[in-house]
Every structure is written in C-alpha cells, then in structure tokens.
Amino acid sequence: MMIQTTFRFSLFILLSLSISCSKTSSSSSTEGSTLRILTSPTGQYQRITANIDNTGYTNFDPQAILADGGSVLSHYTWSLDLNSNPPAGVTIDKFTGVINRLGNSSTGLKKGLSTFKVIVSDGNSTATETIELYVGSYTPGPKALLQQLDGSFALVNGVANKAYAATLYAAGGEPPYKWDLDETYVGSSDLTAAGLTVDQMYGIVRGTSFNSSAGKIIKFKVKLTDATGDVSYNKTLYSITVE
C-alpha cells in the first residue's frame, strides 16, 4: 500500500455473507439479491468518527456506507433519514454514500456516541440502517485508519446471468474518490471477463455475470485515488463466488 506522509486512508470491502439488516422495504429485486445496507461482520453498526480539540476544531473522517444487492443499473441513491436526527452539518453524498461534514467547527457536535439512520434506494426498493457517530478528543497525528483485513476477503456471492452489486469502502482522504481495478494484480482481469466492473465514480462492483462464470471464484484487487491525487493500493485479495 502506498501511504503519503500527509495523508492516510484505507480501502476494504466488508464481508457481506450472513449479515442481516433491517429494511424499510423487504421487497427483493427480480434480478439478483435483496437490497440491504451492511453492518460489520460482527453485526455491529457501521461507525464513523470525529475528534474535537480544546479549541473546538473538528477532525471528521469521511466514510463510505456499504450496501449490496438490488437492481443497480447505474448507482444507488443515498439519503439521511431526517426523522432520526442526524448530527448537525453531517451530509451523505447522494450517489456514492460517502458521509462527510464540511467545515472544522464543532458547533452542533457532542463528544460521545450518537446514532442516526441512512436510506439507500436502487430505484425499486429501499433499505434503512442505523449508523453510529463517535466523537472523541482530538489527538494530533494521522487519522484513524479503518483497514481491517490483509488477506483474502469474500464479497457476497453472485448468480450467473443475474444482476450483481456491492459497494466498495473507503475512509479518510479527500472525497470524491475514484475506484479502479489494480491492474498490477494479474487476476484482476477475471472480474471484467466475468461481466463485472468496478464503477470508478460510484465505488460499486456491478454488472451481470456471464453464464460462463458459473461455478468460478473471481479474484481481484482494487486501488483508490482521492481528490488530491493520493493513491491507496489495497493489500486485500477480494473474491466473488458465482453460483
């Protein structure tokens, strides 16, 4: 992984097998699996972090919220559930699901743990899930990283000739992010050969897997670039089993 001295961020895609989420709609797509927002592998809510120093300066870590399933022709559409009282100033990118907060003032933020909800839509169905925000005391130095795995990492299974979608995860840096296949890993071409792509703008692995990919395990790696040009090469080898 390449790490700049003034910038650190990590990329990983959360394991989405055997993870359940509450939904505003339980309808499933006619193609592919049911739309859902993912919790962590341990069943905990996705958590974003911020830190406040004694002058009121806030260091907020942008973070992409994860989803998979549904009928995604282009991208998911994200929004905050305003009835859940999201923290002051916090926003979510409509197209990428990246939660951020503009400005460095701590006005409206309190130290400790709070929760709010986000909504995702694929155009046919919606899903809602709780997000945690933890605000702590600011400690000078690099931002906290959210890299969790260094080895192999399995995404939700695909089905041959059915629509597939799973978002990528990024934290830190300066959004918007750009996602690419890591072509330095020779197996990454297996993803496109199977009919799937990594959407550079929206951070989604999506497509309709070919019949010829049935029974195969597709493996690939990803690199991430932020708005300043800093690059993170992912050490994790990702896999999708096509049924």
Tokens linked to 36:
């859902």
Contact between 155 and 63 (Cβ < 8 Å): no
Amino acid at 212: S
Contact between 24 and 65 (Cβ < 8 Å): no
Tokens linked to 155:
């995404």
Spatial distance between the Cα atoms of 188 and 166, rounded to a whole number of angstroms: 16
Domains and CATH numbers, the chain: 9-241 (2.60.40.60)
Contacting residues for 197 by C-beta, under 8 A, at least 6 apart: 191, 205, 206, 207
The pTM score is 0.75
Q: DSSP 3-state assignment of 110?
A: coil
Which of the residues in the chain have pLDDT under 70?
Answer: 1-32, 40-43, 139-151, 234-235
**Which strand (E) or helix (H) includes residue 192?**
helix 189-193
pLDDT in tens, 45-85: 888 888 898 888 888 888 899 898 888 888 999 999 999 99
